[in-house]
Structure 1
């Protein structure tokens, strides 16, 4: 595992740095060139200003009443929709700069480690700003063959066992520990939520809480269809794991988030691309991970699972797709969430997109309000 000192370099995002996490021994897939395989760890810099829109979520050392100003208290599976609106994430007017003292709550130093989803990379700088306001340092792990960690000739996003990601997660945790953090929270989105849940289950004692944003906990469809698809994918992957499945992306989700279409967010479309290749071996890894969840995990720390209050599917565009999860079955996520552990909170976000943090301002305000309330209740430092 890497140890300090770490060679940080400026990141593509303003106010962030990054460093490579090479995998040893070599982890190349069959047919890949002799290029470095590994992850990239991204860190929110301490001197990056904390935007003004995060002010409603600022913790108070002696009073948690602010979590109920505009929000109802959380119950298992419910959150109020009466949330203060949040301004656009690109509004970086700072109330104050990040203060190292604000990141030390009591005598403990806390940090969040974020895992992205399939066909994704970390560009959600506003998520890091939200955690900074709560008093947490923020790190995002770019997994092998994704985003900053993708090298020419590599099989985009490919993995044949989600457990293999434990190598770069272990390395990232080692960096966080070396930088003085003794309290860690894992945050995962979509496939990163599934990967993160499996890691926390297999590595008790590393993370003290888990925040999952639309985690991919089960395949969509009825139970019989899911079993058939699982068996077909698993069987075929044994013979030809890197074969690409003929699955077309109709682009509905991209339309809801990309600034050049109907969305709000600018991102690199070579790292979050249309029609990213889905390979049989990767599909088998997902199925096997979801089967572990279905059998029941034993996560011992508090978990919050947040997902949209509904999904929208179809072969043609409908306006409802702009206020729904068009990628995963939101009801399936909520149904499977209790299988993660003994202390799981489920929150349905009204009109949430697949990545809830990329939803329109009032919707993502509900998301941040729910997470802030939960952190205040379960993650007091």
Structure 2
């Protein structure tokens, strides 16, 4: 793995990782991670795909991990969408391009898929956050404080047991110094506001897309990805008993193998 730093047009330095393919190249993959975490948590996923011929790139979202910007804070949620476009410009070459977004990264990727930006060849959306299982008081607090006290820091409320049935995943998550657990109210309001906007425009997706979701996800309820199921060119698969981070569940090799098989089948048709 090698690392890079890229300066966005608005002056934010994005920290990026690259996992070269270990065999003949078949495609390029750009990973877009979820809220609070960073691309380093995806090392095992990236290595899985690099072993089957993918040039894998990941970056820490602005305000996350080793990237610049105020921690878990944005003025507009579409700043994240612009960063995907920026990174696509950095990693795209002659090979087909896949964008793989998880959770909030799946929401960002969905908004990108609905946009007029240059599109990849394929999408993978893992537990895309087109909705969130938030208690009404917390949802209201994010909305109100997003207007009157935008810089107020609020906890994400994520619990380790929600991520995976493997307790070690949650333990590693909360001991990771690059996992940030508090975001601004402005960030929370922007995130919640982006969800219905993405849901309302799913018919604008025009690239073959795989949606994967764990039925026991209590962070992004499985119902949140239902609107994507009716879109032409979208295939949605739900795994019973699995939680939010299916790539960190005991069945991770099964999940990643299914994704790799779907991608290879799609690429083989091109």
Q: TM-score, normalised by structure 2?
A: 0.85
Aligned partner of 2:191 in structure 1 is 286
1:22 has 2:43 as partner: no
Residue 203 and residue 231 in structure 1: after superposition, are their counterparts in 2 closer, same or farther (change >3 A)?
farther
Q: State the secondary structure of the residue aligned to 2:16.
A: strand
Rounded Cα–Cα distance in structure 2 between residues aligned with 1:221 and 1:238:
19
1:133 has 2:51 as partner: yes
Aligned partner of 2:62 in structure 1 is 144
Q: CA deviation at 1:342?
A: 2.4
Aligned partner of 1:316 in structure 2 is none
1:118 has 2:118 as partner: no
1:159 has 2:69 as partner: no
Computed over aligned residues only, the root mean square deviation of the Cα atoms, in angstroms, reads 2.8
Rounded Cα–Cα distance in structure 2 between residues aligned with 1:148 and 1:193:
20
Rounded Cα–Cα distance in structure 2 between residues aligned with 1:234 and 1:377:
43
Q: CA deviation at 1:266?
A: 7.7
Gaps of 5+ in 1: 1-15, 27-36, 47-97, 311-324
Asked whether the equivalents of residues 217 and 337 of structure 1 are also in contact (C-alpha less than 8 Å), the reply is: no
Rounded Cα–Cα distance in structure 2 between residues aligned with 1:193 and 1:212:
5
Rounded Cα–Cα distance in structure 2 between residues aligned with 1:117 and 1:247:
12
| Aligned residue pair count | 267
Residue 238 and residue 189 in structure 1: after superposition, are their counterparts in 2 closer, same or farther (change >3 A)?
same
Residue 358 and residue 283 in structure 1: after superposition, are their counterparts in 2 closer, same or farther (change >3 A)?
same
Rounded Cα–Cα distance in structure 2 between residues aligned with 1:369 and 1:118:
24
Cα deviations by residue, 1:293-351 (Å, 9 ceiling, x for unpaired): 231321100111111122xxxxxxxxxxxxxx342212x23423337x42221111232
Aligned partner of 1:234 in structure 2 is 143
Residue 350 and residue 292 in structure 1: after superposition, are their counterparts in 2 closer, same or farther (change >3 A)?
same
Residue 129 and residue 157 in structure 1: after superposition, are their counterparts in 2 closer, same or farther (change >3 A)?
same
Rounded Cα–Cα distance in structure 2 between residues aligned with 1:246 and 1:42:
27
Rounded Cα–Cα distance in structure 2 between residues aligned with 1:238 and 1:255:
34
1:277 has 2:182 as partner: yes
1:337 has 2:228 as partner: yes
Rounded Cα–Cα distance in structure 1 between residues aligned with 2:174 and 2:188:
25
Asked whether the equivalents of residues 163 and 243 of structure 2 are also in contact (C-alpha less than 8 Å), the reply is: no
Aligned partner of 1:354 in structure 2 is 244
Rounded Cα–Cα distance in structure 1 between residues aligned with 2:110 and 2:152:
27
Rounded Cα–Cα distance in structure 1 between residues aligned with 2:175 and 2:88:
27
1:181 has 2:94 as partner: yes
Residue 135 and residue 267 in structure 1: after superposition, are their counterparts in 2 closer, same or farther (change >3 A)?
farther
Residue 246 and residue 183 in structure 1: after superposition, are their counterparts in 2 closer, same or farther (change >3 A)?
closer
Q: CA deviation at 1:250?
A: 4.6
Rounded Cα–Cα distance in structure 1 between residues aligned with 2:173 and 2:197:
35
Q: CA deviation at 1:121?
A: 0.8
Q: State the secondary structure of the residue aligned to 2:183.
A: coil
Q: State the secondary structure of the residue aligned to 1:278.
A: strand
Map 1:1-381; keep pairs closer than 5 Å: 16-26=1-11, 37-46=12-21, 98-99=22-23, 102-103=24-25, 105=26, 110-122=27-39, 123-150=41-68, 155-177=70-92, 180-220=93-133, 233-245=142-154, 248-253=157-162, 256-257=165-166, 259=168, 269-273=176-180, 276-297=181-202, 298-310=204-216, 325-330=217-222, 332-338=223-229, 341-360=231-250, 363-380=251-268, 381=270
Cα deviations by residue, 1:26-68 (Å, 9 ceiling, x for unpaired): 4xxxxxxxxxx3211210035xxxxxxxxxxxxxxxxxxxxxx
Gaps of 5+ in 2: none
Asked whether the equivalents of residues 189 and 213 of structure 1 are also in contact (C-alpha less than 8 Å), the reply is: yes
Comparing 278-287 with 199-208, greater Cα deviation is found at 199-208
Relative to its length, the structure with more helix (as a share) is: 2
Q: CA deviation at 1:188?
A: 0.7
Rounded Cα–Cα distance in structure 1 between residues aligned with 2:105 and 2:156:
21
Q: TM-score, normalised by structure 1?
A: 0.62
